[in-house]
Amino acid sequence: MTFLVLQSVSKRFGAVTALDDIRLSVPQGSRIAILGPSGSGKTTLLRVVAGFEPPDAGCITLAGDVLADGRAAMPAHRRGVGVVAQDGALFPHLSVRDNIGFGLQNGDAGRGGRVAELMRLVELDGAMLDRRPDELSGGQQQRVALARAMARQPRLMLLDEPFSALDTALRASTRRAVSNVLRHAGITTVLVTHDQAEALSFADQVAVMRDGRLLQVGTPQDVYFRPVNREVAEFLGDAIITAAELANGTAACALGPIPMDSGHQVGPGTVMLRPEQIHLAAIAGEPGVPSCSRPCVGEILEAEFAGAVCTYVVRMLHPGPGPAGPLVIRQPSNRLLDVGTTVRVTVTGKAHVFAGPD
């Protein structure tokens, strides 16, 4: 069931259009990630849903209740929406116990038990209850902020870059913990992030945002493997994008003939592959035909080692149709290739064809 709906929501700040005709549907109990670069309008989107900013136009409904429709807006505290702000925003002078219990009734006999339950839920040790926020690590503070937002049993949870202050390892484990907590509680969640791996791993739906507009909304696999254009493709990860001649369901390009993921286009086009679809193997020393006379053969022009992956700049010896340039291809670094090596380039899977102009 569709739960949160935004219809043609717009918001301007002077000359800046922070939200431009946003249309979004979020099913109940699901998780959506809003992914976009800095300044693209992500926080503004959360703020209009939370009720901290009125939209200039459009309509927002939650479980059929109108939150804002251009004429009237429901006050933020009546929306049943939990918010974890970009900076966590804990009350610095209150203990962990009082931060989490802030929204609960003071005289409530069950208050202590509920706070303890929330602590368990976000995997925090009860020994921390009497500490103040400045006596906690960044990751612990973010878990307290989450517990505080969950205390009122929100219908909808809005998370604004809640993991951004954490280092890589803690970020991944906190993300998994938070994700599990929200999933088990069945809380519909909107996560804002500019980290594509975070968006792809956390959410059922990813909405890619740029300059106040939603460029694409889809499942993580849709937006990653079938981006609408070059911009979305490159924003979601490494992409090998090259010109191709399309015919009979096959894209003929610098990497050879590759089956297309949409069979109907014909003529010149642009295709995209992800690096994990490509395999480079040295062919120097193979007997028989000289390597330069075979298709799908290239030469390593540059190699940059970066730990788990190695980035190669490869010049194809038989460039495909359209403007030819070296390809940048990242590969696992378990088989390092030297500059000057002749390589066979093998592609698995299908080439994604951009529907419109790339």
Ligand X SMILES: Nc1ncnc2c1ncn2[C@@H]1O[C@H](COP(=O)(O)OP(=O)(O)OP(=O)(O)O)[C@@H](O)[C@H]1O
Structure-token pair, residue 347: 């592609």
Handedness of CA 109, 115, 120, 124 (dihedral sign): negative
Q: Are strands 267-273 and 240-247 parallel, antiparallel or unpaired?
A: antiparallel
Determine what percent of the chain falls in helix, strand and coil, rounding each to the nearest 5. Answer: 25, 35, 40
Cβ closest to ligand X, residue 41 vs residue 256: 41
CB 18 to ligand X: min, Å: 4
Interacting residues with Mg ion between 136 and 195 (CB under 5 A): none
Cβ closest to Mg ion, residue 129 vs residue 160: 160
Q: Nearest to residue 323, comparing CAs of 248, 241, 226? A: 241
Interacting residues with ligand X between 54 and 113 (CB under 6 A): none
| 43 binds Mg ion per the rule CB under 5 A | yes
Q: Which stretch binds ligand X (CB under 6 A): 25-33, 36-44, 65-73, 311-319?
A: 36-44
Cβ closest to ligand X, residue 152 vs residue 213: 213
Distance of CA 279 to the CA centre of its chain: 26
| 39 binds ligand X per the rule CB under 6 A | yes
Cβ closest to ligand X, residue 97 vs residue 194: 194
Cβ closest to Mg ion, residue 50 vs residue 244: 50
Contacting residue, 4, 6, 26, 44, with ligand X by CB under 6 A: 44
Total number of residues that touch Mg ion (CB under 5 A): 1
The four Cα atoms 324, 330, 336, 341 give a dihedral, to 10 degrees, of: 0
Contacting residue, 2, 16, 117, 301, with ligand X by CB under 6 A: 16
Distance CA 335, CA 281 (A): 9
Q: Are strands 31-35 and 205-210 parallel, antiparallel or unpaired?
A: parallel
Q: Report the interface residues with Mg ion, using CB under 5 A.
A: 43
Q: Report the interface residues with ligand X, using CB under 6 A.
A: 13, 16, 18, 36, 38-44, 194
